[in-house]
Structure 1
Amino acid sequence: MSVLAALTRAYGRMEERGLVPPFGYSIENISHAVILGPDGMPSGTPRDLRDFQGKKPKPRRLAVPAGGKRTSGIAPNFLWDKTAYALGVSAGPGKRLEREHEAFKTLHREALAATEDEGLRALSLFLDLWTPDCFARWSWPEEMLDQNIVFALESEWLDRFLHDRPAARHLWASRIAGADAPHTDASNTDDSGAICLVTGEKGPAARLHPVVKGVWGAQSSGASLVSFNLDAFTSYGHEQGGNAPVGARAAFAYGAVLNKFLETGSRHRLQVGDASTVFWADGSDAEAADLAEAAFGVMVAGVDDATQAKRVAPILERLRAGRPIADFAPGLDAGVRFHVLGLAPNAGRISVRFWVEDDFGAIAANYGRFLRDIAVEPGPRNPNTGLFGYLIQTAVQRKSENIPPNLAGAWMRAILTGARYPLPLMTAVLMRIRADGVVNAERAGMVKSVLIGTLGKEDVPVALDPDNASIGYLLGRLFAVYERAQTDALGKLNATIKDRYYGAASAQPGKVFPLLNKGVQPHLSKLGKKHAGWRNRLERMIGEIMENIDPGPDAFPRTLTLADQGLFALGYYHQRQAFFNKSSGAEETPEETLETEAPQ
């Protein structure tokens, strides 16, 4: 199923539950309501509809008749608009104020000329008596300038607004019926009776597709997922949406659902690197679909909420153990169809970074494989670390805006489809390790996953493996022991050998390790004067590692391949973590060694 078809199908179910606006309406930010008497006279100061519970007042989100796209032209909205159109006033100079307000009045004079509805007649009378200077003369609040406003009758404004009245809905439906599109201007449709590529139905096609808002990095006013705005896109004389006809109703449906998913605070939205990711589940069992969405949210974003973690943690643990989801949650296997869509800005448009559609059981199985590939011991402090917690480790200064472009989308697609992980993931991790010297569980896990899932390494260990004879792994372990000997002998240092030599040692060990071999001897000698047992233990570690490295002048290779550089990082992490007491999690010290091990 295509992206547009899946979104259109989701609209049908969400409309039944009242989660999306009906055809021809859109959800907009409304700040004030002008209250009118039956004679059209305003009843006092406009009512402030904003929510003041937070630090900053938030406009109310209301379903209003959908407006058309505004570029350089003048296009008033029906029964609502910003103050420049509806009242002819603005906080700025407003070179087009007079024309915009006149267009708003003309639209409503024509639309409401024959109405018998009390509320709509009140608005018509109001527009006849209103002049922009009334705003200052009646001392209306300046904070409503340039904000969206609606209208209501004094007797019912607490219950509904003018656009909610049955007569207003009927009038709006008749206005869009001829064009069959959610705009007051019928020019947004192609009346050629094309076959909709989404639904297969014959009818008017949308000339312009809906604006999508909420994609990170895109224009705040929104951008188009589908657009044809260059002559090069013209085919056989068709213009705009006629090149790939999508029915007006289908275009409205996918736009309404996508905007709903991308709303701030939506549980269907996650930010994965530069890709704004939306996901949703289809299924006859609403409870199973909700659980699938909750589990997926934890998979990708992680969770700090204890209640949610308790709900989905058993699912993740069983996936990590390699159990099919059908064994412990049959309702989530074949009964739930799952969709994941990644969007990113592309100039004035929106591009699709990835699109994954499958049974949730298949997606869960692929994610379980990823959990096993990325597992290291000890693991991250938060066992439910999501993809963002890993991706941030590839970014300069661990800032989300510095995550390498395209990396998040490519990685997400590979995880959900079971494909190979992107090789640039390991390259990015290794570059950050060389830059800041941090080798933690998240970075070690990403390196391990690429070694297994991309480079085909079968013997990559989860925890410290003394028998692993890979040269990169051995050298990483050896480097960790050298670093420990230095810090134990000299105490706290401004820069350790890791800070000075890690990058060179992991890439060109032949140049660095001969120097490190010589440098470790004074450290061991100094350590032995106070802690002979600990010195002997470190010496044994060095000897055991060196036994697995071929002796001779070429013991340390001149260079390491990318795979061996990854194994170097993994070996360093495992050996460094092995210095911590497994039972308490505390770092083992030379003093503790003296209590359990006699000097030799």
Structure 2
Amino acid sequence: MLLQRLNEYADRLGDILPAEYYRPKQIHWVLDLKEDGTGKLTDLRVSAKNRDQARIVPVPYVQRSGTKVPPYMLVDTAEFVLGVPKADKKNPPTKEAQEEATRRHAAYRELALLWARGMKDSVGAAALKSYFANGGPAGVKIPEDVQAKDAVAVMVGTRWLHDEPTVKTTWASIARARKSGSDDRTGLCLVCGTSGSLLATIPEPVKKGAVPTSGGSNEGQLVSINKAAQGRDGKIQLVNTPICQRCGGRTMAVLNHLLASDTNSRRFRDDGVMVWWTRQAGDDSAMALLFGNVPDPADVAHLIDSINNRPTPHAGERVDDDEFHALTLGLNNARLVVRDWIDIPLTGLKATVAAWYQDHGVYDGWTGTTRYVPLWLLALCCGRAQDGRYAKDSAPHGLEAELVHSALHRTPPPARTLPLLLQRIHADQQIDTARIALLRLILNRSSNPKDHVMPTLDDTCREPSYLCGRLFFVLEDIQSTALPNLNTTLRDKYFRTAATAPGTTLTNLHVDATAHLKRLRRDNKKAAASLERRLGELFAMVSDDIPRHLTPVQQGRFVIGYEHERAAKWDRIRRAKEKGQATGEEQ
């Protein structure tokens, strides 16, 4: 299924993909040939600061390995093209390195002439034959800073020689011969369902560095069996996975194209990558909304409304039949690990992303609007907070990828999320929109409906831990209103103990609040009356049932109750200001 979908996407991309058995690569040097075969080297290298100016073009490529590696057609390393031996910076090339460079250049020369000898009317082929007839690299001044690993391409006039159509067809036949194996099998392709010549190995791996990993950056194969113990009936390579030559090259070319895309891929730091595409040219803006730096509230609201609104009788005629595909990859010892595969209707993707934002939106009492948090920040808020901001790269390893899985499968976040989040809240005392949003997501996606929470203050909820959170904010509000310039607030000193063991803590704080209320009655009677009334109402609801200890889920509800009571206060102040009234809570 996965290979079939990649192959279908290749049909849609058409000429956007490189030619068969070609891959984009940076060119460091150009061997400029004149029609008489004389040539010179042109330096195309760029500094690290100017990587965006590097010359990257599709060139012949097929995976090669072993000690006697074969050459590529026309574009290869300086060791093949110019016979430059490998050497370190301190010592001259060894005899063995010089001999290997000579062997590799001879193989390169033979392959290049294999094409050139068959081209009678090609100016480029004639120039190449003259170049080798005149001694090849011996007639070219090679700068001392040319390294054996530098990529060298050949140009005649203003045209890349490897771009000649006949070069592409010749190279494709050579690459097929290399990858079909010694037995040249034929059979039914698992991907396209047609009979043809089958591959022995996949011709193109995923590029080095395309899949982030903490274990070192390597190329990776999607299908690879090179030991009998790994294959069914002891068979190795692609014996049990028949893939024709055309499908094998196209699927990997598409995968590399997606991995290099800025709009259709998401890298998870050192823990893999996700790519996605649609079967048709459908609108996958929901993914941009999911991975955006700052979700636009209007776009999110429109997406949620489009899912929740009842369709018209004619809506069925306009249903989008496009499909959405997403692939999450990891890398292990040069082999790709398929961590997740999603194959759903595009309308299902929109509903899934809408549900994601609906489950975690946080009401902002100051503005009277709902705020939505980007996915990357939901992962980062489980990290360390410093000076009101989250420390870079402090998010738990792999959490962002796990949250993506939760978002696209409409499943709860991983079980470790709640303990991690509570630990950070208790450690750095920061309760902000991101952490409240993640708490809402955890509780709203719980399998127990009793854990689900409303987006705003729920006056009908009698769950003790939720009421305890509300009560703690009122106690804090009483203190901050009576003593506005304290260096250490009630939350700084008691939030952690109140959230884990509210029984004793809230009872003691309720007693301490008496002195603060007494001061308020003297200085601000209106605020004192309002706060005393709310304190009495909440304490009456919970006084006979204050839990001695709270579970992690109950601690989460405590924090939500605290935040809801705080947002409700700002909401009352905002509404009163809009009406030109005073609440007494502003002081």
Q: Which residue type is aligned with residue 286 of structure 2? A: A
1:38 matched to 2:24? The reply is no
Counterpart in 1 of 2:206? Answer: 212
1:267 matched to 2:270? The reply is no
Shift of residue 191, structure 1, vs aligned partner: 2.4
* Structure 2 stretches lacking a partner, 5+ long: none
Counterpart in 2 of 1:174? Answer: 173
Q: Which residue type is aligned with residue 435 of structure 2? A: R
Distance 1:153 1:586 in 2: 78
Cα 1:384–1:526 shift into 2, 3 Å: closer
Residues 459-474 of structure 1: matches in 2 within 5 Å?
460-474=453-467
Cα 1:254–1:533 shift into 2, 3 Å: same
Which range moved further: 213-222 or 186-195? 186-195
8 A contact 1:30–1:62 mirrored in 2: yes
8 A contact 1:277–1:341 mirrored in 2: yes
Shift of residue 19, structure 1, vs aligned partner: 1.5
Distance 1:395 1:189 in 2: 54
Shift of residue 161, structure 1, vs aligned partner: 0.3
Counterpart in 2 of 1:563? Answer: 553
Counterpart in 2 of 1:69? Answer: 64
Distance 2:328 2:311 in 1: 25
8 A contact 1:11–1:253 mirrored in 2: yes
Which range moved further: 504-513 or 538-547? 504-513
Shift of residue 6, structure 1, vs aligned partner: 1.0
Counterpart in 2 of 1:104? Answer: 105
CA shift digits 1:392-429 (9 cap, x unpaired):
22234545744334443443333323344433333332
Distance 2:206 2:311 in 1: 35
Which range moved further: 221-230 or 472-481? 221-230
8 A contact 1:209–1:241 mirrored in 2: no
Counterpart in 2 of 1:195? Answer: 188
Distance 2:181 2:395 in 1: 39
1:249 matched to 2:239? The reply is no
8 A contact 1:46–1:140 mirrored in 2: no
Counterpart in 1 of 2:278? Answer: 281
Distance 2:99 2:574 in 1: 75
Residues 7-46 of structure 1: matches in 2 within 5 Å?
7-15=6-14, 18-43=15-40, 45-46=41-42
Shift of residue 221, structure 1, vs aligned partner: 4.3
Counterpart in 2 of 1:573? Answer: 563
Distance 1:369 1:19 in 2: 35
Counterpart in 2 of 1:122? Answer: 127
Counterpart in 1 of 2:428? Answer: 436
DSSP-derived class of the 1:126 partner: helix
Distance 1:532 1:51 in 2: 70
Q: Which residue type is aligned with residue 244 of structure 2? A: G
Distance 1:28 1:97 in 2: 26
Counterpart in 1 of 2:533? Answer: 540
8 A contact 1:302–1:384 mirrored in 2: no
Cα 1:250–1:499 shift into 2, 3 Å: farther
Question: What is the aligned-residue RMSD (CA, Å)?
Answer: 3.7
Counterpart in 2 of 1:386? Answer: 374
8 A contact 2:457–2:561 mirrored in 1: yes
Q: Which residue type is aligned with residue 251 of structure 1? A: G
Cα 1:485–1:377 shift into 2, 3 Å: same
Counterpart in 2 of 1:147? Answer: 150
Which range moved further: 408-417 or 18-27? 408-417
Counterpart in 1 of 2:331? Answer: 345
Shift of residue 337, structure 1, vs aligned partner: 0.7
Shift of residue 369, structure 1, vs aligned partner: 2.5
Distance 2:147 2:276 in 1: 36
CA shift digits 1:242-285 (9 cap, x unpaired):
2433333222212111111111x5211123574422111112xx
The structure 1 residue matched to 2:361, chosen from 371, 375, 379, is: 375
Q: Which residue type is aligned with residue 278 of structure 1? A: V
1:293 matched to 2:284? The reply is yes
Counterpart in 2 of 1:80? Answer: 75
8 A contact 2:211–2:267 mirrored in 1: no
* Structure 1 stretches lacking a partner, 5+ long: 180-184
How many pairs align?
Answer: 563
Which range moved further: 33-42 or 419-428? 419-428
CA shift digits 1:219-252 (9 cap, x unpaired):
5443223322444213324222324333332222
Shift of residue 99, structure 1, vs aligned partner: 1.2
Shift of residue 325, structure 1, vs aligned partner: 8.1
Cα 1:148–1:515 shift into 2, 3 Å: farther
Counterpart in 2 of 1:182? Answer: none
Q: TM-score, normalization: structure 1?
A: 0.82
Identity percentage of aligned residues: 25
Residues 515-530 of structure 1: matches in 2 within 5 Å?
515-530=508-523
Cα 1:385–1:10 shift into 2, 3 Å: same
The structure 2 residue matched to 1:58, chosen from 53, 61, 67, is: 53
Distance 1:333 1:315 in 2: 17
8 A contact 2:304–2:358 mirrored in 1: no
8 A contact 2:62–2:204 mirrored in 1: no
8 A contact 2:286–2:349 mirrored in 1: no
8 A contact 2:74–2:154 mirrored in 1: yes
8 A contact 2:179–2:202 mirrored in 1: no
Counterpart in 2 of 1:505? Answer: 498
8 A contact 2:363–2:455 mirrored in 1: yes
Shift of residue 592, structure 1, vs aligned partner: 5.8
DSSP-derived class of the 1:236 partner: helix
Distance 1:271 1:550 in 2: 50
8 A contact 1:28–1:61 mirrored in 2: yes
Shift of residue 331, structure 1, vs aligned partner: 8.9
Residues 442-481 of structure 1: matches in 2 within 5 Å?
442-457=434-449, 460-481=453-474
Cα 1:547–1:201 shift into 2, 3 Å: same
Distance 1:484 1:61 in 2: 62
